[in-house]
Amino acid sequence: MQIVSIEDFTRQSFDFLVIGGGTAGLVVASRLAQDGRFTVGVIEAGGPVNGREDVDIPGYFGKSLGSEIDWKFRSAPLAEVGGKTLMCPRGKALGGSSAINFMTWCRASREDYDAWEVLGNPGWGWDDLLPYFKKSETFHPPSPAVQAEEDIRYDPDSFGYSGPIHISYTTHIPPRHRLWSNTLNSLGVKTNSAHAAGSIAGVWTNINNIDPRTMTRSFATNYCALAGSDLHIMTQATVQDIVLDKTSDGYVASGVRFIHGNQEYVVSASREVILSAGTIKSPQILELSGVGNPEILSRAGIAVKVESPMVGENLQEHKAIHAIVEHDPGLENSDDLFLDADFAAAAREQFARDKTGSLAHVFGHYAFVPLARYIPQDTLDKLCSRVQALTEFSAEKKAILEERLRCTDKRGQIEYIFKLGAGRLAESGRKLATLYQILQYSFSVGSVHIQPAPSQREDPVIDPGFYQGPTGELDLEVMLESTRFAREILLAPHMSSIVKQLVHPPASFYGDDEAMRKWIVDHTGMAMHAVGTCALGGHAGVRGGVVDERLKVLGVESLRVVDASIMPLQIGAHIQATVYAIAEKAADMILQDAARQQ
């Protein structure tokens, strides 16, 4: 990893400049530098974090949230919940959010990516992206003994075996895993034996980006080893804006203005500037550069260079709530790592000795369940009628959203995760477990925009749009129906053998729809899966998005966006693996375009 001084960075001549050394940024930069023909610069606000225990050790997942390597964004105050703000963690480090996330590695269903093509974005369907999923990963199969003992099922042909990111099933799957699978099976949710092969629906054992050779997090900094001396990384540097030069036809990106050590610098790129600052920062940087909605820019005192009304719009985020239950005190609990000093010391010693035990794994009890599997047909029909009545969406988008509701077997409207532990809600002397319920396909959308003048260079205004208007009302009804199913999971015969009491919400709430609606609204959070704020425009062009199918910013030459913000529709999966695939595909496209220009 070639981190350079400010003097060396500003003296260098760059072909490409990448804004953001996060998940997507390091992939693109490393692949371009690996080509051997180009000099690539990366500008990152954070610094290196390899070697930190809260990054490397799997069992410490979540510990770095709120630390100095987290941007610590919060949403704008939400009127629906009395002005409360929501946490919106994002990695501020080399590796970005891949350094602080929970190491979940999964792909959405084929239909989710094919929907991007339906909206008018050729080359972005499942068949186009699958090679890039594989290119990013090295899959380590479980041992035959673990596979047989724990009934782990997967399709070996779905994975890659030579990529920079090492992925694996945990080597330590506790007995409760079978309990989770048996519970979901008893409720009609089948075990998915090929959960990475184009259909995520069902219950399955999760894969994590953990290198089983070292039992440590495998993340985006691994890519830097590909790059050699043509990659130059500037850390602790905050980008102010993109330098846009006026031409006879419009504007062309020629460089980047940034702050390092309280001093402003400008560096140039002879070929392209690549914006990879993520769903929250990328639209902010575009707006600060004069690309965006004229009304937003005017309020911030920014001169309009390129009118692009969808910059910062179309924010889509998975809505997450969690029920807390009390469980059998005889079971090991992840909270013991933080509440029981003796247990924590023993776990730390065991991990140091042989890389096993509680610190060597993360939770892996997942289920993606189609809504149509557990709600009455007349309720489903009413929900679909309300979708068709929405005026916010095009006919093709409404057709996609309705199909997602009616789907019975290919993708899950709701994700359920079970974990023995309650994290921030843990209580000393009490064994608590968490059932997470995460809405995958939200109807409501939000926005991310710069602050009004004179504070436009502060954190952007993040409005998740939760439960607002007709689309938000639809989300609330889906969450209500899904909460009923969550109760069925907790009270099913297998699960009830360890669940002793419903704690949060209490059992009495489940019979009162109004009380449950209020509880859902009051306790919904953001799932760290925000997408869409610089989306592929598709058929609608600049009125529907920000970039074209080559990820070029509409209306600006030599500028692309490469990160989660380009997704036009949210996917039904954790987004990490998809971001890697997007970046791998983007790198190929950029190299192809460069070859045509020579």
Which amino acid type is present at position 183? Answer: T
Residue 350, phi then psi, degrees to nearest 5: -65, -40
The overall longest dimension of the chain from CA atoms, in Å, is 73
Tokens of 341: 């000093």
Q: Which of 232, 449, 529, 539 is catalytic?
A: 529
Q: Characterise 175 by phi-psi region: left (phi > 0), alpha (psi -120 to 50), beta (else).
A: alpha
Mapping DSSP onto H, E and C, the string for 517-531 reads HHHHHHHCEECCCCE
CA neighbor of 196 nearest in space, from 484, 596, 577? 577
Which string of b and e fits 454-474 if b means at least 16 CB within 10 Å?
A: eebeebbbbbbbbbbeebbeb
Measured distance CA(145)–CA(364) in Å, rounded: 18
Q: Looking at 328-468, list the stretches that DSSP marks H as alpha helix, in order from N- to C-terminal side.
A: 336-339, 341-354, 377-388, 395-406
Q: Would you tell me the crossing angle of helices 23-34 and 576-597 to the nearest 10 degrees?
A: 30
List, in order, residues 6 or more apart from 528 with CB less than 8 Å away: 88, 89, 90, 97, 101
Tell me if 239 is assigned to a ligand binding site. yes
Which string of b and e fits 137-146 if b means at least 16 CB within 10 Å?
A: bbbbebeeeb
Which amino acid type is present at position 210? Answer: I
List, in order, residues 6 or more apart from 564 with CB less than 8 Å away: 24, 278, 279, 529, 530, 531, 575, 578, 579, 582
Q: How far is CA 87 from the centre of its chain?
A: 14
Residue 503, phi then psi, degrees to nearest 5: -105, -50
List, in order, residues 6 or more apart from 309 with CB less than 8 Å away: 292, 293, 542, 543
Q: Examine the residue annotation and report whether 574 is marked as an active-site residue of this protein.
A: yes
Measured distance CA(310)–CA(286) in Å, rounded: 11
Tokens of 100: 């602080």
Q: Examine the residue annotation and report whether 529 is marked as an active-site residue of this protein.
A: yes
Dump the DSSP string for 419-438.
Answer: ES--GGG-BTTB-EEEEEEE
Catalytic residues: 529, 574
Residue ranges for the binding site for FAD?
239
Residues in binding site: 239
